[in-house]
Amino acid sequence: MLVDGKQFSGSTFYVDTYNTLRSIAGNASRFTEFKPVFFPNIRTFHKLLFLFYRHGLCCFMTGSFVSYIAGCLTFFRAISIYMVLDDYHPIVRLLFQMGPNVIQHFIIGHFHFEHLQTLRDTCIYRVRLGPFNTIFCFIGIDAASRCDYRSNVDFVHFIWDNFERFSARKFAVTILPSDNATAPPNLSSASPANTKFVYLKYYRALSDGLCLDKRNCNRCMVKHRLSLQMLCCCRQAEGDCSCIACKRQPPSLRDICADKYFRDMRQFLFTTSTTFNQYVDAVVSGVSWQRLLPPGFPSIHISFTYNSFNAKFHPTCPGIRLWHGQISRTFDLDSDAILALADESQKNTFWCSACNRGLFFPNTCPFHPQ
């Protein structure tokens, strides 16, 4: 499966830092993590991830289960695992039914897999290990080159940036090799002693909650809320909520710093997910101006809802607004357009007052192009 027409490229390798360094004040983490809640069978999930790790697979676990152990949902239905496709790896070929015939039952390690359904590059299984019995959804992603577990963190951020549309779903569990080991891990010596389970979260996961769809599609947003009603205590369609899955709160300073630490401005992409502060950072960092131009340049078309003209919002952002409005501005020079978008005094003109994302991106939803 291609993600927005892109292949994953495992270009950056990450390992865990020494525990002693992590305990020193001021030691920056490469990514934002959450502390999982206690779950009786969590060791079983760790065993399955570690099984894939030992075989050199690039993958991570997500879905409602990970949101559950993050404390955002009261129960879960299934578990999703994103995995980089490798046509030559026997386990990948087995999991994604790449052979001439469908294999209904098979065993990997001590786990028994029962095939339920295949949809393109997605295979659904019932996985058993003793009393453990859960539905797993394996989603295969094409890669530009072969990669292994050292690219797991990059893989998570690639899916977050290009595939997962709602921030409430941006929680993940994966494995990294650890520098605490006396020797670098390999497929023959991989063991829990030289690995680290990392619980990753998008830095605005709790802040954006259920409210934001990066493709600006109101119909998808409503459908997403309805699909999560049974998993949340919240029943409010708009406005503030005390539900831990969708309440809005500012991201912590640590989360923001971790996001800045992870991002490489050389790979900056101006998308619907780009916030005003990220755009200003890109301008100051010297990103080429061709990559900073908004869609439709030299004209910028803005569509918004509002009560007061001093604050404009996406139709999909929470809150009740009375009117819809549109504005168009044309610039002679690309530098004038970029400076206007990065100008703090003009922020309320071009950027949403709720989510701080651009109001000038058109609807790009593949399901509801109208």
pLDDT in tens, 164-187: 877 778 899 998 876 554 333 444
In contact, 251 and 204? CB cutoff 8 Å: yes
Beta-ladder partners of 105 = 114
CA–CA gap between residue 37 and residue 251 (Å, rounded)? 20
Please state whether the predicted TM-score (pTM) of the whole model is above 0.85: no
Residue 289's Cβ-side half-sphere holds a number of Cα atoms within 13 Å equal to 11
CA–CA gap between residue 316 and residue 305 (Å, rounded)? 9
Whether the per-residue pLDDT at 366 is higher than 50: the answer is yes
In contact, 92 and 57? CB cutoff 8 Å: yes
Of residues 17 and 78, more confidence is placed in 78
Angle at 182 between CA 179 and CA 186, to 5 degrees: 75
Task: Give the pLDDT score at 285.
Answer: 83
In contact, 56 and 184? CB cutoff 8 Å: no
Reading the block at residue 80, the tokens are 């999703």
Report CA-CA distances (Å) from 138 to 39, 81, 115, 229, 285.
22, 5, 11, 24, 38
Which residues, 6+ apart, have CB-to-CB distance to 284 below 8 Å?
A: none
Which residues, 6+ apart, have CB-to-CB distance to 142 below 8 Å?
A: 1, 2, 7, 8, 85
Q: pLDDT per residue over 221-268, tens digit each? A: 777 777 766 666 655 545 556 666 666 666 777 777 766 655 666 667
Average pLDDT in the chain: 78
Reading the block at residue 163, the tokens are 């595939």
Instruction: Express as a percent the part of the chain with pLDDT over 70.
Output: 74
* 25 DSSP 8-state letter: T
Q: Which long-range contacts (CB under 8 A, 24 or more apart) does 111-114 make?
A: 111/47, 111/48, 111/51
The number of residues in the chain equals 370
Q: Where are the domains of the chain?
A: 19-207, 210-246+263-350
